[in-house]
Amino acid sequence: MRQWWLVGIYLAAIVMANLLVTWFGTKVVLPVGFFLVGLDITGRDFLHEAWRKNRWLKMALLIAAGSLLSWLLNKDAGRVAIASFLAFAGAGIIDTLTYTLLHKYRFLVRVNGSNLFSSFTDSALFLTIAFGAFMPLLILSQFAVKVAGGFVWSLVLRKVKAGISQKDELPAAG
């Protein structure tokens, strides 16, 4: 899968997630977790594959860019953007370490195994920082929808990646 496409999807999803939470608060964290953050955490693993070299620096820059874009598009998103940055940074470290430890397993096991740990980290940090309170039920609920969303997105992105790879291998018409 082309890296620029994944980067664009990642940034669009993170900015949309941050802005939706800024505008609508806790009532949207579950659908945002499933659709947008599930896409982000799974897209991050596809980028791990593409960015084998310098992946730590590239992911740090990508996370910072998403938070900065969120804040630039809506200055009221400051607290959410900071929470997002810290949560994605913490979850990104956990995700990359777990993904690397699972390197001997099949791709979907690596992706969803790392999502399991990073989703909990992301949920706990984001919700607590963004809303200034520890909300265990909401954290567990968001964790569950992120894992489910990440699983669905892992299947979708794998199919998309396979389709793009097949197109790249087709001979040029001439």
Determine contact, residues 87/139, Cβ cutoff 8 Å. no
The range of the structural domain enclosing residue 79 comes to 3-167
Number of domains into which the chain is organized = 1
- Please check whether residue 134 lies inside any domain of the structure: yes
- Please check whether residue 66 lies inside any domain of the structure: yes
- Please check whether residue 174 lies inside any domain of the structure: no
- Please check whether residue 173 lies inside any domain of the structure: no
- Please check whether residue 9 lies inside any domain of the structure: yes
- Please check whether residue 60 lies inside any domain of the structure: yes
CA 49 to chain centre: 14
pTM: 0.84
Find the mean pLDDT for residues 60-80: 86
- Please check whether residue 172 lies inside any domain of the structure: no
Q: Please report how many Cα atoms fall inside a 13 Å half-sphere around the Cα of residue 2, on the Cβ side.
A: 9
- pLDDT class of 129 with cuts at 50, 70, 90: very high
